[in-house]
Chain A
Amino acid sequence: MEHAKNTAPKNRIRVGSPAVDVIIIIVTLLICAVTLYPMYYVFIMSVSEPHAVIAKDIFLLPKGFQLESYKMLFANKDMWTAYKNTLIYVVSTTVLMLITCSVGAYPLTVDGLPGRKWVVRFLLVPMYFSGGMIPTFLLMNRIGLYDNRLAIILPACVSIWYMILVHTFFRSIPNSLRESAFLDGATHLQVLTKIFIPLSKPIMAVIAIYTIVGVWNSWFNAQIYLPSRELHPLQLYLQRVLIQKSVDLSTLNSTEIEEAMERMFSSVQLQYSIIIFTTLPVIFTYPFFQKYFIKGIMIGSLKG
């Protein structure tokens, strides 16, 4: 099979014409350019001279080079608070997600568990039906999660779908491992933490990456549940800066009048630098973790 795969392109070359290949490469290059350009444009705007940014006559190359707007950005306490909040939300949600997936999936892998059928039904119903935005909102209020960090963490830290993925993976672990551990006097909890979880690193990595990116990019729950600004995650802070334009970045530190003009120029540019600065972690890491996403999609479509 591998061999056939390797010889196939040769056959195809004999049949296809090189002109088509050139056209395909040109078309895909154009697509890549269109995909990258918006980000690139934001980047060159963020490092150009403020006056050129205001005039907006920058298209392909930055005009001048300065990092003033980044310096101003780094002095912005609100942004750092938001950054810190996002880290708190990402780390705790991901850790909880891995725990809940494991403890939720493990008991169902034990053959002959009484009532298993009912538990599975109990888990399947919420996958098809949900109460919707308002009943969830009222519940969250009722249990005191409004304006509480847990309003971001708790609703995102259990996923029945991920539990199913972990369950499927657990099933592929030979039962003999578990039985020999029992002979050594291990408990179920020990089998789970000492054998099953360490052996499930591939699926745990997939789930962790999905959760991290999901929480990092989410803003809507924070918008609904967190009126206090000091609890806002990065994306909600960005929403205030970029969409509502309710944060005037230029009045951050200095009140000196001679600087006011410069500041005004910079505030437009700051929007570009904040996009770059908050998106950089994602841009630089996604080529490395994209394989986990592809894996997740494959597993998902197999289970279909």
Chain B
Amino acid sequence: MRKTKRPQADVPRVPPKEAVKLYLIMLPVLIYIFIFSYIPLYGVVIAFQDYTPGSPFLFDPSIKWVGLKHFTQFMSSMYFWRLIKNTLVLSLYNLIFVFWAPIIFALLVNEIRPRRYKKVVQTISYLPHFISSVVVAGMVLSFVNADGIINQLRGMIGLSAVAYNNDPNAFPWIYTLTNMWKGFGFGSILYLSAISAVDNELYEAANLDGATRWQKMWHITLPSIKPTIAIQLIFAVGGLLSANSEMILLLYNPAIYETSDVVGTYLYRESLLGGKFSSGTAIGLFTSAINFILVFAANTVSKKIADFSLW
């Protein structure tokens, strides 16, 4: 909608009667968006109030305004730094390992010569994306528990069993590898489509100059997907404070909260299940504000270093 570049000046205005009809067509959608997007947006005000469960949502005249109380309470709570640390650690693992997997895989797939085989490899690599998180988590948990396949293999080489599902140190790796397995193939589509847009003459010219395969990949293919990488990287940095909490909720358990409890899961457990709605809204707002600042910062850095920015 932003990109409509139609000349507006010479278009006659739609007569009011017809305009009303057109608005009637989209009225259900407009009402829907007002209710489901704008009311919760306004509902954020309860972050600055003492909302008690059961009192009428939004329009309660007796409600108490408490300013930033819920924000300071969250930041001085005993779990605050643990949550921030866990969220950042998991996001960093994500940025270091999961982020690059689809890029490397795309470069690799691009070098496959037999066309049929290339198609098959791609199709297989998409499979994990279509398997639901619940099933993926269920499989992972059954693999890493004390009598799972990983410990069976350890047993075969004479090592004792370790219940990885209850080992706080193993969690970041389990989470990271799960995300990587689930996303590397599907994530590569974006990069492969960028690669396919490269002008073939570039490769032919490189061939005439006697460039090696590696040189072509490094000097033609990789630069061609640089803008795509930059966009994805900016978004990834912007999401530093929002780990994939849906997956964590499935994979974690109280024994490993020490490394697995992140802001998102804490919000769900303490605020939603615990009924601390005002504090939960404050935590949500806090996270979005920081993520917003991070996207902004990442964009500025990218503008300076790579001469590329989102806006």
Question: Could you tell me the distance in whole angstroms from the C-beta of B115 to the nearest C-beta in chain A?
Answer: 9
Contact B128 A113 (CB under 8 A): no
Contact A235 B134 (CB under 8 A): yes
Spot the interface stretch: B12-20, B76-84, B87-95, B296-304. Answer: B12-20
Q: Which residue of B lies closest to A109 (CB)?
A: B4
Contact A56 B147 (CB under 8 A): yes
Spot the interface stretch: A69-77, A121-129, A255-263. Answer: A121-129
**CB within 8 Å of B: which A221-244 residues:** 224, 235-236, 238-239, 241-243
Q: Which of A35, A238, A278 is most buried by chain B, counting CB atoms within 10 A of its CB?
A: A35
Decide if the interface of chain A is mainly helix, strand, loop or mixed. helix
Which listed residue, A113, A136, A168, A242, touches B14 by the CB 8 Å rule? A113
Q: Is A183 close to B, CB under 8 A?
A: no
Spot the interface stretch: A87-95, A199-207, A287-295. Answer: A287-295
Q: Is B175 close to A, CB under 8 A?
A: no
Contact A138 B277 (CB under 8 A): yes
Contact A158 B38 (CB under 8 A): no
Which listed residue, A24, A35, A271, A283, touches B112 by the CB 8 Å rule? A24
Which listed residue, B25, B41, B124, touches A129 by the CB 8 Å rule? B41
Contact A141 B57 (CB under 8 A): yes
How far is it, in angstroms, between the C-alpha of A301 and the C-alpha of B192 when the chains are bound?
12
Question: Could you tell me the distance in whole angstroms from the C-beta of A161 to the nearest C-beta in chain B?
Answer: 11
Q: Which residues of A contact B33 (CB under 8 A)?
A: 122-123, 126, 158, 160
Contact B134 A219 (CB under 8 A): yes
Contact A38 B57 (CB under 8 A): no
- B77-113 interface code vs A (CB 8 A; 1 in, 0 out): 0000000000000000000000000000100110111
How far is it, in angstroms, between the C-alpha of A132 and the C-alpha of B38 when the chains are bound?
11
Question: Could you tell me the distance in whole angstroms from the C-beta of A178 to the nearest C-beta in chain B?
Answer: 12
Question: Could you tell me the distance in whole angstroms from the C-beta of A86 to the nearest C-beta in chain B?
Answer: 11
Q: Which residues of B contact A283 (CB under 8 A)?
A: 127, 130-131
Q: Which residues of A contact B21 (CB under 8 A)?
A: 187-188
How far is it, in angstroms, between the C-alpha of A41 and the C-alpha of B29 when the chains are bound?
46
Contact A135 B281 (CB under 8 A): yes
Q: Is A173 close to B, CB under 8 A?
A: no
Q: Is B66 close to A, CB under 8 A?
A: no
Contact B272 A57 (CB under 8 A): no
Q: Is A252 close to B, CB under 8 A?
A: no
- B27-49 interface code vs A (CB 8 A; 1 in, 0 out): 01110110111111111101000
Q: Which residues of B contact A224 (CB under 8 A)?
A: 272
How far is it, in angstroms, between the C-alpha of A243 and the C-alpha of B191 when the chains are bound?
34
Q: Which of A39, A133, A301 is most buried by chain B, counting CB atoms within 10 A of its CB?
A: A133
Contact B25 A242 (CB under 8 A): no
Contact A107 B127 (CB under 8 A): no
Question: Could you tell me the distance in whole angstroms from the C-beta of A252 to the nearest C-beta in chain B?
Answer: 19
Which listed residue, A41, A130, A137, touches B37 by the CB 8 Å rule? A130
Chain A, interface size: which category? Answer: 35 or more
Contact A31 B125 (CB under 8 A): yes
Query: With A114-B14, A135-B281, A158-B36 known to touch, is A239 a contact of B134 (CB < 8 Å)?
Result: yes
How far is it, in angstroms, between the C-alpha of A38 and the C-alpha of B19 when the chains are bound?
56
- A242-277 interface code vs B (CB 8 A; 1 in, 0 out): 110000000000000000000000000001000100
Question: Could you tell me the distance in whole angstroms from the C-beta of A105 to the nearest C-beta in chain B?
Answer: 8
Chain B, interface size: which category? Answer: 35 or more
Contact A132 B281 (CB under 8 A): yes
Contact A242 B125 (CB under 8 A): no
How far is it, in angstroms, between the C-alpha of A256 and the C-alpha of B182 when the chains are bound?
42
Question: Could you tell me the distance in whole angstroms from the C-beta of A25 to the nearest C-beta in chain B?
Answer: 7
Number of A-B contacts (CB under 8 A): 281
How far is it, in angstroms, between the C-alpha of A132 and the C-alpha of B242 when the chains are bound?
12
Q: Is A208 close to B, CB under 8 A?
A: no
Contact A11 B203 (CB under 8 A): yes
Which listed residue, B40, B108, B112, B194, touches A136 by the CB 8 Å rule? B40
- B273-286 interface code vs A (CB 8 A; 1 in, 0 out): 00001001100110
**CB within 8 Å of B: which A115-171 residues:** 115, 119-120, 122-126, 129-139, 141-143, 154-155, 158, 160, 163-164, 167-168, 171
Q: Which of B1, B28, B42, B120 is most buried by chain A, counting CB atoms within 10 A of its CB?
A: B1
Query: With A113-B19, A164-B1, A239-B250 known to touch, is A271 a contact of B138 (CB < 8 Å)?
Result: yes
Contact B193 A130 (CB under 8 A): no
Contact B213 A15 (CB under 8 A): yes
Q: Is B288 close to A, CB under 8 A?
A: yes
Q: Which residues of A contact B35 (CB under 8 A)?
A: 139, 143
Taking Cβ atoms with an 8 Å cutoff, the residues of B that contact A are 1-4, 6, 8, 11-14, 16, 18-19, 21-23, 25-26, 28-30, 32-33, 35-44, 46, 56-58, 105, 108-109, 111-114, 117, 120-121, 123-128, 130-135, 137-139, 141-143, 147-149, 152, 181, 185-186, 189-190, 193-194, 200-201, 203-204, 207, 210-213, 228, 231, 246, 249-250, 267-268, 271-272, 277, 280-281, 284-285, 288
Given contacts A15-B211, A111-B11, A132-B40, 19 further A-B contacts (CB under 8 A): A9-B113, A16-B213, A24-B112, A28-B112, A39-B139, A59-B149, A103-B29, A126-B41, A130-B37, A133-B272, A133-B284, A135-B39, A138-B277, A171-B4, A217-B133, A282-B130, A282-B131, A294-B189, A301-B190
15 inter-chain pairs at a CB distance below 8 angstroms, sorted by A residue, are A12-B203, A15-B213, A28-B112, A36-B127, A115-B19, A129-B288, A132-B288, A142-B58, A158-B29, A167-B1, A241-B138, A243-B138, A279-B131, A279-B132, A282-B131
Q: Which 4 A-B pairs have the closest CB atoms?
A: A131-B40, A242-B138, A135-B43, A132-B284
